[in-house]
Structure 1
Amino acid sequence: MQLSHLEEFVELAQCLNFSKAARTLNISQSALSKHVLALEKECGAELLARSSVQVRLTPEGSVLFEEALSIIEAHDHALRRIAEMKKAHPPLSVGGLYLNINIVGFINAIARTLKSTDEHLHLVYNNASDRPFCDLVASGEVDVAFTILDPDDPLPPGVERLHLFDDPLVAIMDPDHPLAKKDTLSLKDLNRQKMLAPAGSYFIAGAKLAHTLLERHGSRPLYESVRLQTMQEFPLIDVGDSILMVEESLQKQQMSYSSHRVLRFEEADAQFPFYVVFRSSPRTEATQRFVDALREESEKFRAAGGAAGAAEGAGAAGAAEAAL
């Protein structure tokens, strides 16, 4: 039952004149008649007794008229409450790599803390990934975004960043790969090796930084492009006789690689720095509270060596809360 049809029926029931009600509602008389017939079909009863002389409500029509008034008022009341809530506690639009298991752990910890203090923070997730996440924040399409950044890369004007943690990189390969016999790898071991190179939005989010890291260590793999738009597409990749280099937390999320050899790197800088980026101006109260809470969680995470936070995040990866 469409609310607009009920509103039209109420107007018609009050004036009992199709042409007058249609003019007031700014619709055609035929459209009004069609909508009334739809209501009658749905109710299984005649709602209006029509004659060439007059239109009057049937007993069933009177019941619908009374209930329709309550339904419309309840609808309007709900919209008023929602508008007031949004004005008092505007939602925070979150984008980027928020499904990283460590970040999910941060968000869930913040949710528990705020609920225990009766504070409110409503998150709305934005999955836009066609442009660098910093640009999405700068344009106002999202309020905050989680992303992998090179610390030396400049930010768009009006955007700030907060370093959350460093995620070690690992190499995933078939157990029969020549490098699979090693206990650990050096980035130089990847020189001239066939290596999958994620393209699409994941290139923006991290693969570009991996290329820069390898070049810095004098390693030039033989890249094979594979298109990826989201982290959820990683299980679809057939590694084959190539090597896939990803952050360790992402590898732990993908059970499809359980039969592969996973090796860490010896170099201390073989890691992805994760940041949250946000606008410095205008900065809403909700943004400030969220960033402050993230700073606190990231400090706890790093103080614990990352292990405890990662375990918590992995357990909660499927339960990120949209409303805090």
Structure 2
Amino acid sequence: MLECERRGRKSRGGKRVLPFAFKGVTSVDLNYLREFKELAQTLNYAKAASRLYITQSTLSKHINALERELGCRLLDRDRRKVELTEAGRRFAAASMTIIDTFDRMQEELGALEQQEPLRVDGVLYDNTLSSIFSVATMLLESAGLPPVDYSHKAEKDCLDLLMEDEIDIAFSSVSPQECEEAGFVTIPMTRTRFVGLMSKNHPLASRKFLTIDALRDTCLLKFADTYSINGWTIIEQRCKDRGFTPTSRTVLGRNQNNYVTTPVGENEVSILSSNIPQMRFLSEVAPVVALPFTDEDAFFPLYAIYKRDKEEKVRAVMDVYRQARDMVVHRED
């Protein structure tokens, strides 16, 4: 009679039942089953421990813990050899089934996750990015890839959304250095040139071009919404690179759709993206002028940002975004 059978309970028919129903299922580590499976195949503690990258003493402790949990002996051990008991042979077969089922389910769940739409947030309404998203949507559909869910959550910072796994990819102007420190990957997507919007009565309005250095004595509009705060960080840094901190006036409650309609005072400049569609005809309907900047670094960069551990999940969509970006940027050039 098996030792574990002696410890088993009787069924209604009088037969003893092997106590393979764990006393506390959650207390058994699946890794212990993997370790037992390896030991059952090798019947050698040293070889099994080496393959598992653990010490023999650790392996022995884990096997002992399994035997205590099951209430039976799985192995006969002496100095010369290790053999499976009858219970050990049965449990080895059961362990292999459990492990194989778990691994197969992990693969299926991973494949299912790949079929779910990726969640994207951040600067979604940039004109160039909007074109990239439109082209990418068609490319994804033609490639048979899942669609992308663009859901802007204005109340939360997009990097916080990434960190909390509420989204998979963020588009933002946050510096690559800051993203690197937070454990994110950044992929450059677009560069949009600065345009200075000002009253026709502004002292700089008669110029054909602007430079950042020329803004030393000018007040800049600082949009304080979560959508544009990273853009202001870039503007401020460009000024500091030239040795001055810009004077600013904070404007509250704006959004990406009405930056161009925010009134500017006679000594104020609003630095905006050159790809805003309204910029082309704004001077025809309002007493303002829009001047381009000549500085090489006078641009807003936008990056695709994602967590390092999501690289495999986002790879296919990121490849499509790159393809769409090249098509759109080439057409704009």
Pair in the same fold by TM > 0.5? yes
- Structure 1 CA distance for aligned equivalents of residues 132 and 239 of structure 2: 30
Is 1:113 equivalent to 2:139 in the alignment? Answer: yes
Return the offset for 1:130: 3.8
- Structure 2 CA distance for aligned equivalents of residues 254 and 144 of structure 1: 31
- Structure 2 CA distance for aligned equivalents of residues 236 and 261 of structure 1: 13
Return the offset for 1:251: 6.1
State the match for 2:75 in structure 1: none
- Structure 2 CA distance for aligned equivalents of residues 219 and 264 of structure 1: 21
- Structure 1 CA distance for aligned equivalents of residues 326 and 227 of structure 2: 27
- Structure 2 CA distance for aligned equivalents of residues 180 and 300 of structure 1: 35
Query: Which of 273, 283, 290 is residue 262 of structure 1 equivalent to?
Result: 290
Distance 1:280 1:88, change over 3 A: closer
State the match for 2:162 in structure 1: 137
- Structure 2 CA distance for aligned equivalents of residues 204 and 155 of structure 1: 19
Distance 1:272 1:192, change over 3 A: same
For residues 189-200 of structure 1, what are the structure 2 equivalents within 5 Å?
Answer: 189-200=214-225
Is 1:208 equivalent to 2:233 in the alignment? Answer: yes
Distance 1:154 1:146, change over 3 A: closer
The CA deviation string for residues 76-100 of structure 1, in whole angstroms up to 9 with x for no partner, is: xxxxxxxxx9767212111011111
Greater C-alpha Rg: 2
State the match for 2:307 in structure 1: 279
Structure 1 letter corresponding to 2:219:
K
Return the offset for 1:169: 0.6
- Structure 2 CA distance for aligned equivalents of residues 146 and 174 of structure 1: 32
The CA deviation string for residues 7-38 of structure 1, in whole angstroms up to 9 with x for no partner, is: xxxxxxxxxxxxxxxxxxxxxxxxxxxxxxxx
Unaligned runs of 5+ in 2: 1-110
The CA deviation string for residues 132-155 of structure 1, in whole angstroms up to 9 with x for no partner, is: 422321221211111113344343
- Structure 1 CA distance for aligned equivalents of residues 114 and 186 of structure 2: 26
- Structure 2 CA distance for aligned equivalents of residues 284 and 228 of structure 1: 38
Is 1:104 equivalent to 2:130 in the alignment? Answer: yes
Aligned alpha-carbon RMSD (Å): 2.6
Contact 1:169–1:245 (CA under 8 A) maintained in structure 2:
yes
- Structure 2 CA distance for aligned equivalents of residues 135 and 240 of structure 1: 35
Return the offset for 1:122: 2.1
- Structure 2 CA distance for aligned equivalents of residues 194 and 107 of structure 1: 35
Distance 1:176 1:291, change over 3 A: same
Deviates more, 1:195-204 or 1:207-216: 195-204
State the match for 1:234 in structure 2: 259
Contact 2:260–2:279 (CA under 8 A) maintained in structure 1:
no
Query: Partner of 2:319: helix, strand, or coil?
Result: helix
Contact 1:190–1:219 (CA under 8 A) maintained in structure 2:
no
Structure 2 letter corresponding to 1:295:
R
- Structure 1 CA distance for aligned equivalents of residues 323 and 251 of structure 2: 37
State the match for 1:296 in structure 2: 323
State the match for 1:93 in structure 2: 119
The CA deviation string for residues 200-219 of structure 1, in whole angstroms up to 9 with x for no partner, is: 21343311121111111124
- Structure 2 CA distance for aligned equivalents of residues 290 and 198 of structure 1: 32
- Structure 2 CA distance for aligned equivalents of residues 127 and 147 of structure 1: 12
For residues 42-121 of structure 1, what are the structure 2 equivalents within 5 Å?
Answer: 89-117=115-143, 119-121=144-146
Structure 1 letter corresponding to 2:122:
G
- Structure 2 CA distance for aligned equivalents of residues 90 and 135 of structure 1: 21
Contact 2:139–2:320 (CA under 8 A) maintained in structure 1:
no
Contact 2:213–2:242 (CA under 8 A) maintained in structure 1:
yes
Identical positions, percent: 19
- Structure 2 CA distance for aligned equivalents of residues 150 and 184 of structure 1: 27
Is 1:188 equivalent to 2:213 in the alignment? Answer: yes
Query: Partner of 2:119: helix, strand, or coil?
Result: strand
The CA deviation string for residues 87-135 of structure 1, in whole angstroms up to 9 with x for no partner, is: 6721211101111111111111112223334x13222222223444223
Distance 1:229 1:279, change over 3 A: farther
Contact 1:159–1:278 (CA under 8 A) maintained in structure 2:
yes
Contact 2:221–2:269 (CA under 8 A) maintained in structure 1:
yes
Query: Which of 221, 231, 243 is residue 269 of structure 2 equivalent to?
Result: 243
- Structure 1 CA distance for aligned equivalents of residues 270 and 182 of structure 2: 34
Contact 1:147–1:275 (CA under 8 A) maintained in structure 2:
yes
Contact 1:169–1:247 (CA under 8 A) maintained in structure 2:
yes
